[in-house]
Amino acid sequence: MCADWYEGTDCSTEERAKYYGSYIGTATYFNEDGNLIDSSIDTIPVMGNGSIVNELDADKVILALVASGMGDFEIPTNTMSDPDGTSFIINGDGSFNGNLLTINAKLEFTTETLDFSFSGSK
């Protein structure tokens, strides 16, 4: 039996390592009325987040894995800035299932709230 967050025959492989990579898929944004406002093909890179074994970084958004042995994650509430410097609050959840990444998040800007979804594979 391996320690939490490790797997393999000799327990030396971090579980999160299998999720690393670039996921290509469809990103969609809906406004508060549920109307589609944007849909595009996007790439989300996922990499390790320092020494914290149960967290990943997906294009600067922290994904906190919910439980060892599971691919589910939470996006903790966090204030971020887009490339134009506009500040927003993000939170949500998602999952890794094999080579598939699914994300559902809420983006709260000063003037509007958007629902974001992404589904892609590596």
Structural domain contains residue 9: no
Both ends of the chain: CA-CA distance in Å? 29
Per-residue pLDDT averaged across 14-40, rounded? 95
Annotate 33-98 with DSSP letters as a single string: TS-EEEEEEEEEEEEE-TT-TTEEEETTEEEEESSTT--EEEEEEEEEE-TT--EEEEEEEEEEET
Indicate whether 63 belongs to any domain: yes
7 falls within a domain: no
> Can you give the pLDDT at residue 66?
86
Domain that holds residue 105: 20-121
What mean pLDDT do residues 29-54 have?
A: 91
Residue 32 reports pLDDT greater than 90: yes
We report the CATH number of the domain holding residue 56 as: 2.40.128
Q: Cα separations (Å) of 121 from 46, 72, 78?
A: 11, 15, 25
Asked, for residue 69, whether it belongs to a domain, the answer is: yes
Alpha-carbon distance 90 to 36, whole Å? 19
User: What is the percentage of the chain residues whose pLDDT exceeds 70?
Assistant: 100
Q: What is the number of alpha carbons within 13 Å of residue 73 lying toward its C-beta?
A: 29
Domain for residue 15, yes or no?
A: no
Q: What is the structure's pLDDT at 31? A: 97
Write down the pTM of the prediction: 0.86
Is residue 10, in this structure, part of any structural domain at all?
no
Question: Is the residue at 70 inside a domain?
Answer: yes
